[in-house]
Chain A
Amino acid sequence: QVQLQESGPGLVKPSETLSLTCTVSGGSISSDSWSWIRQPAGKGLEWIGRFTTSGNTNYNPSLKSRVTMSVDTSKNQFSLKLSSVTAADTAMYYCARDRNVYDLGFDIWGQGTLVTVSS
């Protein structure tokens, strides 16, 4: 079955760029759409953005100016870059398979990776 695994630095300095990768195993990344979602400690979930391997990207308007998503189909991986980070970007970051356009929700999630923004 499809599994997701996030990876990347757990500590990022303020004003720098957060970079995370999600590796898809057990299936092809080209078969679906994929999203990044984050959750500050003790708080709710915030959708960051979605991309499809056909090249479409959609970002949360509140983060759009700082977010870039990309894909490496040869490695079955997709990535998130968030620039100019502040302490407010400290959160658990999840990647998820996004089937919302089919009304099927985020049906598969990675285990999450904690990113702390601090000097």
Chain B
Amino acid sequence: IQMTQSPSSLSASVGDRVTITCRASQSITTYLNWYQQKPGKAPKLLIYAASSLQSGVPSRFSGSGSGTDFTLTISSLQPEDFATYFCQQSYSAPRATFGQGTRLEVK
């Protein structure tokens, strides 16, 4: 299953509402997870099962979608949110595949 994210990079300002899209090559129902990765750090799980917020993750992060199309939304960007975001499908678990990533940069 191929995962395609868009855009590949995105410039935004603190306070902006940001949406990142992930598309699967076939239906994965809601078996979709989102991760945040900062430079030099391991990825961090933000959202699992398409829309469930991982414990400790701020509520400004939300996920939606089902089937083949999914979105990660940050309602009001904070300085610590500038990072790279990856989606990952677990429909074919244990085999996992990731999107190519979306780099969120300061405008």
A residues neighboring B (CB under 8 Å): 33, 35, 44-47, 50, 58, 60, 94, 98, 100-101, 103-107, 109-112
**19 A-B residue pairs with CB within 8 Å:** A44-B98, A44-B99, A44-B101, A47-B96, A98-B96, A100-B31, A100-B90, A100-B94, A100-B96, A103-B90, A105-B33, A105-B35, A105-B88, A106-B35, A106-B43, A106-B45, A107-B45, A109-B44, A111-B42
Least CB separation from A51: chain B residue: B94
B residues neighboring A (CB under 8 Å): 30-31, 33, 35, 41-45, 48-49, 54, 86, 88, 90, 93-101
In the complex the two chains form, is B94's CB within 8 Å of A58's CB? Answer: yes
In the complex the two chains form, is A94's CB within 8 Å of B42's CB? Answer: yes
In the complex the two chains form, is B90's CB within 8 Å of A105's CB? Answer: yes
Closest Cβ of chain B to A40, distance in Å, is 12
With A and B bound together, what is the CA distance between A112 and B44 in angstroms? 12
In the complex the two chains form, is A103's CB within 8 Å of B96's CB? Answer: no
In the complex the two chains form, is B90's CB within 8 Å of A47's CB? Answer: no
With A and B bound together, what is the CA distance between A100 and B89 in angstroms? 9
Q: Which of B31, B41, B96 is most buried by chain A, counting CB atoms within 10 A of its CB?
A: B96
With A and B bound together, what is the CA distance between A47 and B42 in angstroms? 14
With A and B bound together, what is the CA distance between A47 and B33 in angstroms? 14
**Which of B30, B42, B90, B95 is in CB contact (< 8 Å) with A110?**
B42
